[in-house]
Chains A and B, each alone.
Chain A
Amino acid sequence: EVQLVESGGGLVQPGRSLRLSCTASGFTFGDYAMSWFRQAPGKGLEWVGFIRSKAYGGTTEYAASVKGRFTISRDDSKSIAYLQMNSLKTEDTAVYYCTRYSSGWYPDYWGQGTLVTVSS
C-alpha cells in the first residue's frame, strides 16, 4: 500500500525558514517524481513544484509564487522528499501536501497534509 506521511509543519514567523519532510512507503521511491501542493485555509489547490526521479535527471520545477524561496530535494536511500521553505510570507500559510507523480505525470497518491502557519 502506497503511503506518504508529511511532517515538519507548524507556526513560523514571517521571513523565517521551515523544512517539510515526506516519508514514503509501499513503492520504489526512486522510480517516481515527487511533488508538493498546498491549500490555503478555505481555498483551492495550488501546485508548488516537483522533483523528477534520478532517471530523468532529478531536476526540479516550481510555481512562480515560490521560485527562488522554496527548494525541493529528495533522499532516495531514505525514501524521503523535502520541501525547504525560506523567506516565508503570511500568504504561504496553507496545508502542504506531498504527492507521488504517476508515470503519466500527474499526482496519483497524496499524503494527509501538514499545516504551515506563517504569522508574527
Chain B
Amino acid sequence: DIQMTQSPSSLSASVGDRVTITCQASQDISNYLNWYQQKPGKAPKLLIYDASNLETGVPSRFSGSGSGTDFTFTISSLQPEDIATYYCQQYDNLPHTFGQGTKLEIK
C-alpha cells in the first residue's frame, strides 16, 4: 500500500494568514492526488483534484501543487469558515489511501 504522510497534524493560524500543508507519498503517484476538506459531523468535500486543479465552485484562495511524491496545499488568506480537517488522498494505486489529516484552528 502507498503510505501518505501529511504534516502538520494540527495547525493554528490567524484570519488572513497563508496556510500550507504538505503531503508525501511513499512512492511516485504522478499527479493522482486530491485534497479534501471535512468539517465536524460532515462528509468530506473535494477541493483539489489531480494535485492542482480547483474543483468547480471552490474559492480561489485554495490551491495545490506538486507531483511525484511531494505535494503542497495552500490557503492564501485564511477565512473563519476554513476551520476544518484537511486530507490528502492518492488514487494512483489501490487501495486509495489518505493522509492522517491536518486539523486547522483559528488562533
User: Which single residue of chain A is at the shortest CB-CB distance from B46?
Assistant: A108
Secondary structure type dominating chain B contacts: loop
A50–B49 Cα distance when bound, in Å, is: 19
* Any B CB within 8 A of the CB of A63: yes
- The answer to whether A106 and B34 touch (CB under 8 A), given A44-B87, A47-B97, is yes
Count of interface residues, chain A, beta-carbon cutoff 8 Å: 19
Which residues of A, 83-117, contact B by the 8 Å Cβ criterion? 97, 102, 104-113
The answer on a CB contact under 8 Å between A44 and B98 is yes
The answer on a CB contact under 8 Å between B101 and A106 is no
Complex partner residue of A107 from B38, B46, B97, B100, CB under 8 angstroms: B46
Interface size class of B (residues with CB under 8 A): 20 to 34
The answer on a CB contact under 8 Å between A104 and B89 is no
A113–B95 Cα distance when bound, in Å, is: 20
* Any A CB within 8 A of the CB of B39: no
Chain B residues engaging chain A, CB cutoff 8 angstroms: 32, 34, 36, 38, 42-46, 49-50, 55, 87, 89, 91, 94-101
Chain A residues engaging chain B, CB cutoff 8 angstroms: 44-47, 61, 63-64, 97, 102, 104-113
